[in-house]
Amino acid sequence: MLIRLTLAAALLSTPVLAADAKEEACRYEAQVMAAVQQARLDRVAEAKVADHLAASDPSWPENYNAAIPQMVGYVFQMKRRELKQNDLGTLWEQQCLQTWDQRQQMLEDMKN
- Cα R_g (the chain), whole angstroms: 14
pTM: 0.80
Distances (CA, A) of 50 to 14, 58, 67: 19, 11, 10
Q: What are the pLDDT tens digits along the chain (112 aa)?
A: 445 444 544 554 444 445 588 899 999 999 999 999 999 999 999 999 999 999 999 999 999 999 999 999 999 999 999 999 999 999 999 999 999 888 888 888 888 7
